[in-house]
Amino acid sequence: MTTPFDELEPQKKRRHPILSGLRTSFLTGLIVIAPIGLTIWLIWTVVGWIDGVVLPLVPGRFNPEQYIGINLRGVGVIFFLVFTVLIGWLAKGFIGRSLLRWGESIVETLPVVRSVYSGLKQIAETVFTQSDRSFDKACLVEYPRKGIWAIAFISSTAKGEIDSGIPVNEQKVSVFLPTTPNPTSGFLLFLPRSDVIELKMTVEDAAKLIISAGLVYPSNGKGNGVNGAKPVEVADPVREPAETG
The H or E element containing residue 37 is helix 17-54
* Percentage, residues of the chain above pLDDT 70: 79
Is residue 8 pLDDT above 60, yes or no?
no
187: domain CATH number?
2.30.30
What pLDDT, on a 0 to 100 scale, did the predictor assign at position 58? 82
**pLDDT at residue 216, rounded to an integer:** 82
What's the rounded mean pLDDT across residues 111-133?
Answer: 73
Q: What's the confidence (pLDDT) of residue 187?
A: 92
Asked whether the beta carbons of 175 and 139 are under 8 A apart, the reply is: yes
Does 171 map to a domain? Answer: yes
Residue 190 in domain = yes
pTM over 0.95: no
Give pLDDT, residue 223.
42
Residue 12 lies in a domain: no
Rounded CA separation 115/100 (Å): 17
**Residue 111 is assigned to a structural domain of this protein:** no
Between 7 and 94, the more confident residue is: 94
Tell me how far apart the alpha carbons of residues 195 and 202 are, in angstroms, rounded to a whole number. 20
CA nearest to 118, candidates 107, 106, 102:
107
Residue-level pLDDT at 100: 84
**Residue 97, domain member (yes or no):** no
Give the pLDDT confidence score for residue 129 in this predicted structure.
63
Range of the domain at 143: 137-222
Q: Give the tens place of pLDDT for each residue, 54-93.
A: 888 888 777 777 777 777 788 888 888 988 888 888 888 8
Q: How many domains does the chain have?
A: 1
The answer as to whether 8 is a domain residue is no
Average pLDDT over residues 38-60: 87
DSSP 157-217: E--HHHHHHS--SS-EEEEEEE-SS-TTSEEEEEEEGGG-EE-SS-HHHHHHHHHTTT---
pLDDT, the chain, mean: 79
- Whole-number pLDDT of residue 238: 40
Is 232 domain-assigned?
A: no
